Chains A and B, each alone.
Chain A
Amino acid sequence: CASLYDTKVDNPADYHKPQQVDDNYNLTGRFSIRTADKNYYGNFSWLKESANEELDFMSPIGSTVAQIKIESGVASLTDEENKTYSGENLNQLMQERLGFVLPMGYLHYWIQGVPLPQYPVQESLKSGFSQLGWRVEYLSWHDENHPQIIQASKDDLRIKLLLNY
């Protein structure tokens, strides 16, 4: 499997803003999340249908380890032991139960390659932009309108998402 080892990763293309953005999507991919002291890696599946969402976190080869559900604004999180926690503040739930916070509201736009429309872009970067204190960079693109690897970092949290197409 030499090909797997010597494939060079070329540096990211310059950022360009995709044209269309969807309100709904049904994505799978891989995540690598680094906090100050821990690393999380695995697969994810993210289904969004307007106000309802289901985000599954899976171990590298398949079994689901956590699931976040949002039904018309009310969030719940189920962990590996199948215990479900719910509450208004999803970020707090994630921090307590998973050890990291995935800013899902922001990522709705960022994973589609665009900044949140209702907030200013603080700085445009060679491969992305910074917004709301986050650096959002697109390490590779699937095509004109679809990023493949997104990296969002803020303070000591670094989130890398690879989207399957």
Chain B
Amino acid sequence: DSAALDNFLSNAKTMKADFTQTVVTGKKTRTTHGTMEIMRPNKFRWEYTEDKQLIVSDASKIYIYDQPLQQVTVKALGSSIDKSPAAVLAGANNIKSLYKITSVADKGDGLNWVKIEPKAANDNNGFQTVLMGFDSKQKLSSMQFIDNFGNQSTLKFSNLQTGINIPANDFKFKAPAGVDVVEQ
């Protein structure tokens, strides 16, 4: 049922967690790690440790800093391209108006899974299916995304804290000197 989701939405105005992300594309599975911070609505900080990539949304723009490529890509938040777990989580307060929510059969992993599907047919923001898995204490434990090409990515959260104080500066971004800043 979506009680877990409602409960989560109501008291998770801010959240912070470590995550493991596993992406399956074609015949390749790749796992990366990172940390995330979210302040709803629409502010998030999503950092990939090994890949040295930082994604920050200040609620109007998304900045993607790719340190190895020495580049910052800047996108408008509303642009259709911001199809991401972070955007779904951070924008979630209107989740009930934008998405159809159905509970999903037990996966035997002890989590209570809920499926959210965009109501507007064409606005599936690139994801065919988004699943959110809650633990027995109704805490968000995992998310699954399947995109239009059948590629699947799974996020597992640990050390999740909600309703905590996160410094506003964490959702601001200033490009380091010497890197390319490109608008997309």
Query: Which residue of chain A is the closest to B84 with respect to CB atoms?
Result: A61
Residues of A28-45 whose CB lies within 8 A of B = 28, 30, 32, 34, 38-41, 45
Query: Which residue of chain A is the closest to B147 with respect to CB atoms?
Result: A63
Asked if B73 is at the interface (CB within 8 A of a chain A CB), the reply is yes
Asked if B46 is at the interface (CB within 8 A of a chain A CB), the reply is yes
Q: How many residues of B contact A (CB 8 A)?
A: 43
Question: B28's contact among A26, A34, A63, A65, by CB below 8 Å, is which?
Answer: A26
What residues of chain B lie closer than 8 Å to A65, measured between beta carbons? 81, 126
Query: Which residue of chain A is the closest to B178 with respect to CB atoms?
Result: A9
CB distance from A165 to the nearest CB of B (A): 11
A38 vs B183: C-alpha distance when bound (angstroms): 8
Residues of A1-35 whose CB lies within 8 A of B = 1, 4-7, 9, 26, 28, 30, 32, 34
Query: Are A32 and B69 within 8 A (Cβ)?
Result: yes
Asked if B165 is at the interface (CB within 8 A of a chain A CB), the reply is no
Asked if B68 is at the interface (CB within 8 A of a chain A CB), the reply is yes
Asked if A56 is at the interface (CB within 8 A of a chain B CB), the reply is yes
A-B contact count (CB 8 A): 117
Residues of A46-87 whose CB lies within 8 A of B = 47, 54, 56, 58-65, 67, 78, 80-82
Asked if B30 is at the interface (CB within 8 A of a chain A CB), the reply is yes
Query: Are A7 and B52 within 8 A (Cβ)?
Result: yes
Asked if A162 is at the interface (CB within 8 A of a chain B CB), the reply is yes
Asked if A122 is at the interface (CB within 8 A of a chain B CB), the reply is no
CB distance from B152 to the nearest CB of A (A): 9
Query: Are A56 and B70 within 8 A (Cβ)?
Result: no
Q: How many residues of A contact B (CB 8 A)?
A: 38
| Given A32-B69, A45-B25, also A60-B84 (CB < 8 A) | yes
> What are 13 inter-chain pairs, A to B, with CB distance below 8 A?
A6-B176, A7-B67, A9-B70, A32-B66, A32-B69, A47-B28, A56-B151, A60-B64, A62-B84, A64-B126, A64-B147, A140-B68, A160-B71
Q: Which B residues fall within an 8 A CB radius of A?
A: 21, 23, 25-28, 30, 46-47, 51-55, 64-71, 73, 81-86, 122, 125-127, 145, 147-149, 151, 153, 176, 182-184
